[in-house]
Amino acid sequence: MNREQFLAQVRTAAASGRMYRVHPRPHAHGQYDPANEAEAQARFQREVINAGGAFHQLNEGLALRDLLASLIELHACRTAIVWRHPALERHGVYEMLDELGVTWLDAERAEGLVRTERRAAWLAADLGITAADFAIAETGSVVVQSRRSQERMASLLPKLHLAVVEPAMIVPDLFDLFARLEQNGLDQLPSNLTLITGPSKTGDLELRLVTGVHGPRAWHVALVRS
């Protein structure tokens, strides 16, 4: 491959990679009113889609059940890793999975397995379901803090990740996220805080953008009103 061919390949890969790129916007604070909940939610929706994710705005638990059923059928999901989280309890996610015939595993259930069985079950999961600690409107990111019963593997290992977000979790931008974290007490931070923006992507392989190499190929965000 000569120099011009190599540079042409780099340009093509770079152009392709912009499809899911989150572009910083100058003076982002002036583009919408952070105090306006509807505008923050609309911004969050746009940026989730811009990052390559799928966004679902749901008004009640029945709609979430319908979404789960369609994703399980579409992706042929038989097993799931699920967080233990108040938001998932409020919306009846565990009962939905039982009803839909999905074998699901949380930290408590995993403790009953021997180490090799537990590892095999984590790795074989088709679906990961988490809630969020926060969601960032400016970038369409879901923020998760790893804790007991809220393991990071739920958003990393399965081919499909569904994040259940409630409106109160949405903050306008990173500055507001840091302010909220400080307000909650920095000494309460876990060892790992992750910002998830779109499905897993890498450009390491011949400078070609590939989705799903290091994590989920499909990323769905469900904004559920109580």
Q: Quote the pTM value.
A: 0.81
Using DSSP bridges, classify how beta strands 170-171 and 103-105 pair: parallel, antiparallel or unpaired. unpaired
Domain definitions of the chain by residue range: 32-224
Q: Which residues contact 28 (CB under 8 A, 6 or more apart)?
A: 138, 173
The pLDDT of residue 19 is 56
Question: Looking at residues 71-88, what average pLDDT do you find?
Answer: 96
| pLDDT of 18 strictly over 80 | no
Instruction: Summarize pLDDT for 109-126 with one digit per residue, the tens.
Output: 998 899 999 899 999 999
Tokens of 89: 């309890």
Instruction: Summarize pLDDT for 143-193 with one digit per residue, the tens.
Output: 999 888 898 899 999 999 999 999 999 999 999 999 999 998 888 888 889
| pLDDT of 104 strictly over 80 | yes
Q: Is 156 exposed, middle or buried (0-12, 13-18, 19+ CB in 10 A)?
A: middle
Q: Is 93 exposed, middle or buried (0-12, 13-18, 19+ CB in 10 A)?
A: buried
Q: Which CATH architecture group holds 32-224?
A: 3-Layer(aba) Sandwich (3.40)
Q: Residue 86: pLDDT band by 50, 70, 90 thresholds?
A: very high
| pLDDT of 210 strictly over 80 | no
